Chain A
Amino acid sequence: MKFEIQHQERYSRGELLLRTFLGFFYILLPHAFLLMFVGLWGAILQFISFWIVLFTGRYPQSFFEFQVGLMKWNLRVNSRLFNLSDGYPAFGVNATDEFTNFEVEYPEKLSRGLLLLRFFFGWIYVILPHGLILMFRMIATNFLVFISWFAVLFTGNYPKSFHEFNVGTLRWNTRVNLYLYFMTDDYPPFTGKE
Chain B
Amino acid sequence: MQNENLTYYPLPQPDDLDIREKEDAMGAYFMMFAAMAIGLPLPIVNIIAAAVYLFMDQTKKSRYVRFHALHSLYAQIPVTLLNAGAVTWVLLVFFRDYALTNIFWGYIALVALANLTYFTFSIIAAVKARNGQFFYFLFFGKLAYHLAYRVKEDNKTMVVNQPPKM
Residues of A whose CB lies within 8 Å of any CB of B are: 40-41, 43-48, 51-52, 56, 58, 60-63
Q: How many whole Å from B41's CB to the nearest CB in chain A? A: 14
**Nearest CB in chain B: distance from A66 CB, A:** 9
Residues in A whose Cβ lies below 8 Å from that of B24: 60, 62
Residues of B within 8 A of A62 (CB): 20, 23-24, 27, 57
Q: A52-B26, A58-B19 are in contact. List 9 more A-B contacts (CB 8 A).
A: A44-B34, A48-B27, A51-B30, A56-B130, A58-B23, A60-B23, A62-B20, A62-B23, A63-B23
Q: How far is the CB of B113 from chain A (nearest CB, A)?
A: 23
B23: chain A residues within 8 A (beta carbon):
52, 56, 58, 60-63
Q: How many cross-chain pairs have Cβ atoms below 8 Å apart between A and B?
A: 48
Sample (27) of A-B pairs whose CB atoms are under 8 Å apart: A40-B38, A41-B49, A41-B52, A43-B37, A43-B38, A44-B33, A44-B38, A46-B37, A47-B33, A47-B34, A47-B37, A48-B30, A48-B33, A51-B30, A51-B33, A52-B30, A56-B23, A60-B20, A60-B24, A61-B19, A61-B20, A62-B20, A62-B23, A62-B24, A62-B27, A62-B57, A63-B23
In the bound complex, what is the Cα–Cα distance between A44 and B19 (angstroms)?
A: 21
Shortest beta-carbon distance, A138 to chain B, in Å?
Answer: 26
Interface size in chain B (residues, C-beta < 8 A): 17
Q: How far is the CA of A45 from the CA of B33 in the complex (A)?
A: 10
A70 to chain B, nearest CB (A): 13
How many angstroms from the CA of A141 to the CA of B34 in the assembled complex?
A: 36
Give bound CA distance, A58 to B22, whole Å. Answer: 12
